[in-house]
Amino acid sequence: MEINGLRGDVIDVNLINTTLLEISSTHQYTGRTITVPNSLFMSSPVVNETYLDEFMLHIFSIPLKTNEDIEKIEKVLLDAANEVCTEYLESAVKYMTEVSTRAGLEVPSVEPRISVEFHDSETINMLVRVPVPSRRKGRIEQAIIRLYLAKLKAGA
């Protein structure tokens, strides 16, 4: 969960406060705990990152200079995302279909995709959206980035 910029897994709840095991921006446990006064839940929005128990859609960005070969990089990045996600993609599609049907929502496209956004006049962000097992998003993100870099280095 995330509240007021604080992010972690809930490990204890009592009448006065909630304790989180902190998770960093790279989706790794820091070993620190955060004690959040329960009153904060009355005045701040809460992000529940594990609402969808099994799978979720995860988005991360890869910054690039606008003078780089955007089409080539996008293809290599999408290939890396597809390769990493192949092992569980069918299960993710099935799960998202079931959840969407139960909730009466349109089934989202689950296949990995890349979107492009301008960060500033010299930088764009490749936004990578992939399905991930809910508790493995950091590992999956790192696997995609590392495979992408290896493919670029190999001249893919």
**Which pLDDT does position 52 carry in this prediction?**
66
**Which pLDDT does position 135 carry in this prediction?**
83
The CA distance from 22 to 124, in Å, is 30
**Which pLDDT does position 85 carry in this prediction?**
98
Asked whether residue 111 falls in the same domain as residue 41, the answer is no
For Cα atoms 149, 90, 135, give the angle at the middle one, nearest 5 degrees.
65
Asked whether residue 37 falls in the same domain as residue 72, the answer is no
Backbone torsions φ then ψ of 141, nearest 5 degrees: -55, -50
Asked whether residue 41 falls in the same domain as residue 59, the answer is no
Ranges of the chain whose pLDDT falls below 70: 50-52, 156
Strand partners, 48: none
Give 75: exposed, middle or buried? Use CB within 10 Å, 0-12, 13-18, 19+: middle
Asked whether residue 135 falls in the same domain as residue 79, the answer is yes
Asked whether residue 84 falls in the same domain as residue 23, the answer is no
Q: How many domains does the chain have?
A: 2
Which CATH number is 110's domain given?
3.30.70.100
Residue 85 CB coordination number (10 Å): 19
What b/e sequence results for 101-121 when a residue is b if at least 16 CB atoms lie within 10 Å of its CB, and e otherwise? eeeeeeeeebebebeeeeeee
Q: Residue 36 in contact with residue 20, Cβ under 8 Å?
A: yes
Asked whether residue 102 falls in the same domain as residue 129, the answer is yes
Q: Residue 29 in contact with residue 105, Cβ under 8 Å?
A: no
Strand partners, 126: 62, 116
**Which pLDDT does position 43 carry in this prediction?**
95
Asked whether residue 42 falls in the same domain as residue 67, the answer is no
Asked whether residue 100 falls in the same domain as residue 128, the answer is yes
**Which pLDDT does position 48 carry in this prediction?**
86
**Which pLDDT does position 123 carry in this prediction?**
95
Asked whether residue 8 falls in the same domain as residue 43, the answer is yes
Asked whether residue 6 falls in the same domain as residue 26, the answer is yes
Please provide the average confidence, as pLDDT, over all residues in the chain: 93
**Which pLDDT does position 156 carry in this prediction?**
67
Asked whether residue 68 falls in the same domain as residue 136, the answer is yes
User: Containing domain of residue 7, as a range?
Assistant: 2-47
